[in-house]
A = this chain, B = another copy of it.
């Protein structure tokens, strides 16, 4: 039998559960996906992404826009950098940030459609 210690009696599903188990993504991919969404899943960072979609901006601009300290913004930018959602370019004293990826725009607008639907 597939699984003797199955946690419910949905016999119809035992086979399917086995199949899904085998087709499940590996742990590393799973964590990468989760980290990607975690990076977007914060209202401050969404505002940053939203802004960078309109224009490249430096840290002070963002701090001004969001009414936050540059330190707090810098921390959030680091999170977004680690998740490879934004890229930066240095010019003199300033560091200019911009979106790194077309996927971000696509995902944000799909989510926007989803959220507005209700």
Contacts and interface: CB of A to CB of B under 8 A. Distances in A.
Range of interface residues on A (Cβ < 8 Å): 35 or more
A75 interface: no
A63 B51 CA distance: 40
B84 A17 contact: no
B61 A8 contact: yes
Contacts of A116: 29
B60 A8 contact: yes
Given A21-B65, A39-B41, A107-B107, 18 more contacts: A5-B64, A7-B63, A7-B64, A8-B58, A8-B60, A10-B58, A13-B58, A16-B54, A16-B55, A20-B65, A30-B43, A32-B115, A34-B42, A36-B115, A40-B41, A41-B41, A101-B114, A107-B111
